[in-house]
Every structure is written in C-alpha cells, then in structure tokens.
Amino acid sequence: MIRFIDIVLSVLLLIIFSPILLIVFILAIFDTKSPLFFQKRIGQNNNLFSIIKFRTMKTDTLSVGTHMVDPNSITKLGAVLRKTKLDELPQLINVLVGHMSLVGPRPCLPTQEELIVERTSRNVHLYRPGITGLSQINNIDMSTPTKLACFDEKMLNEMGIVNYFKILFRTAFGSGQGDKVKVIHSD
C-alpha cells in the first residue's frame, strides 16, 4: 500500500512542482554549469543506487556526508535550495523507479561504514530509504550513527499509513530548520 502511495504522491508532486523544477534547473545551469548531482548511496538490502539531487556545491567539492561539508563549498543558490529543501525534489524520480520511498531512513554513503553496520544489525537495510524520515524531523544527522540507526529502527517498527503521513506532514509543515551543515576547521 505504501509503495502505491509513494508512486501516486510522487507523480502528483512532480506535476505540481514542475514549474519550480524547471526554474531551479535553469538557475542551477548558470550557478554550477551542471545542475544535477548523482551520487552513489546505499539502498534497500545494502544495494548501491544513484541518488539524484540538484547540485548545491561547487563541482570540485569532495563527496562527504552533509554533516561534514565545508560551508564555503556551498553556492549561494545551493544555500537557498538546501534551506528550502528544493534540492531534494529530483529524488521523486528515485521514488518512482523504486530506489526510494517518500518516507524511510535517509540513504547513506558507501563510506559511512559504521552506520551501514548499525542499520544492518537492526534490519533497517531491508527497507527502501526515504527522502524524509523520523530522524530528519528530529534533526538527527549521520554524525551519530548509533542514534540515527535507533531512530530508523523505531520508525520502521511503527510504520503504517498514519505514521507515514504524520512524517510527511511534519516534513512539509514542521520546523523549517533546513540543512544543518557543521563547520569543518582545517587547522
């Protein structure tokens, strides 16, 4: 049932947001010359897939977790996209093709081995990753792998239609705190 809802909502959201997607795509061409960003992530059953996002960082930026990004590598447009979460909209395509769900644990990078181990030990890896989840609405990032995996497990154990929509609602109308990027000091 959730997969059906994922497909229906993704199609509707892509249609509704298509003008915004087009505008952001064009602005991103001028901002970074390469508007889309593809990155390998860990998906269901620990299989790799390519996540699609609008590019928010300079093209020569290292591929690290969001919690480790150097704030100077984020473009001005990228900062706005991250704050408004518009950089996440292309992931609706990932949802349509079945790599992701709208709600689930955020897909991690293959280099985030501690998180992969924590999620695997809790069977979180058996589920599709999501665009949003319980950890995101509670501002828990990938810098605390054990805590994150515990929240992911809790969410999946309690997942049903009601909680699915509660998480979507809190994502859309919640705190609006946007992306939290930790400052990296290069001493």
Query: What tokens does 72 get?
Result: 């100077």
Dihedral angle, C-alpha 120, 123, 128, 130, nearest 10 °: -80
Q: How many residues does the chain have?
A: 187
Residue 7's pLDDT is what? Answer: 98
Three-state secondary structure call for residue 158 = coil
Q: Is 187 exposed, middle or buried (0-12, 13-18, 19+ CB in 10 A)?
A: exposed
Could you list the mean pLDDT of each consecutive 10-residue stretch along the chain, which spans 187 residues?
A: 96 96 93 90 97 87 58 87 91 97 96 96 96 91 91 93 94 62 34
**Domain residue ranges in the chain:** 2-173
Residue 66's pLDDT is what? Answer: 53
Kindly give, in sequence order, each residue whose CB lies less than 8 Å from that of residue 43, ignoring residues fewer than 6 positions away: 49, 99, 100, 107, 128, 129
